[in-house]
Amino acid sequence: MSEAKVKRFYATADVGETEGGFAVRLDGRLARTPAKRQLVAPTRALAEAIAAEWAAQGETIAPATMPLTRLAHSALDGVAEALEPAIAEVAAYAGSDLVCYRATEPEALAARQAAAFDPALAFAEQALGARFALAGGIVHVAQPEDSLRAVRAAIPREPFAVTALHALTSLSGSALLALAVARGAMTVEAAWAAAHVDEDFQIERWGADEEAMRRREARGQEFAAAARALEALRG
């Protein structure tokens, strides 16, 4: 969605059942994506959440306040046309996943990483049958091919789900954290905190940069919205 200000051009936003899912409607007319596709979500819950973003707009439309709408646009106009490449991008993160790389010192940071990262590894082993090797520092460690295949197989072949998982993965740096959130094995808060263990450790020592924290907050909102989309896709 463009960041240019667009005056609100509709009075109401609601949802109607249509072929292929549930359509977002503006004044009774089907809403459309930037590529002019119908804005149709697979579940009523997701369509209603998107419609609520449109209903909440003021005199001008603020795309920054509509993360689910932007996710839907990406799913319909982008990912649906390149589903397998998008799945491959998500799966590729598992080859060098954040949670597999551990500090060797200081001991306090290593302990925090273990507490934050180990639940994602336990989820991968228990739910996906995938075991991952750990590396000290930043030296690359090759992961078992069976584990990488298991991660790829766990990614749903559905554009909205892939788009949401891609957002969770790219924002956190971890396919395992993303899948753990998607499966309900980790909370959004725990996964987001895990993605920032190193950063938070440094902040405690040296302080926070205000601009960096604003960017982090914005990314956190996108992360939470992607998780909400996955929850809504379940019904």
* Residue 100 near residue 89, CB atoms below 8 Å: no
Does domain 81-233 correspond to CATH entry 1.10.3580.10? Answer: yes
| Identical topology for domains 6-65 and 81-233 | no
Q: What angle do CA 2, 91, 67 make, to 5 degrees?
A: 25
Q: How confident is the model at residue 137 (pLDDT cuts 50, 70, 90)?
A: confident
Instruction: Tell whether the model's pLDDT for residue 2 goes beyond 50.
Output: no
Q: What is the distance between the alpha carbons of residues 182 and 176, in angstroms, rounded to a whole number?
A: 10
DSSP state of 9: -
* Residue 216 near residue 196, CB atoms below 8 Å: yes
Q: What is the distance between the alpha carbons of residues 95 and 118, in angstroms, rounded to a whole number?
A: 17
Task: Spell out the CATH class of 6-65.
Answer: alpha beta
The pLDDT value given to residue 4: 65
CB atoms within 10 A of CB 20: 10
Residue-averaged pLDDT of the chain: 95
The pLDDT value given to residue 5: 77
* Residue 119 near residue 62, CB atoms below 8 Å: no
At residue 35, the 3 state secondary structure works out as coil
What pLDDT digit, counting tens, does each position of 138-190 carry? 889 999 999 999 999 999 999 999 999 999 999 999 999 999 999 999 999 99
Instruction: Tell whether the model's pLDDT for residue 220 goes beyond 70.
Output: yes
The pLDDT value given to residue 1: 44
* Residue 42 near residue 160, CB atoms below 8 Å: yes
pTM exceeding the 0.85 threshold for the entire prediction: yes
Q: What is the percent of the chain with per-residue pLDDT over 70, rounded to a whole number?
A: 98
Domain ranges of the chain: 6-65, 81-233
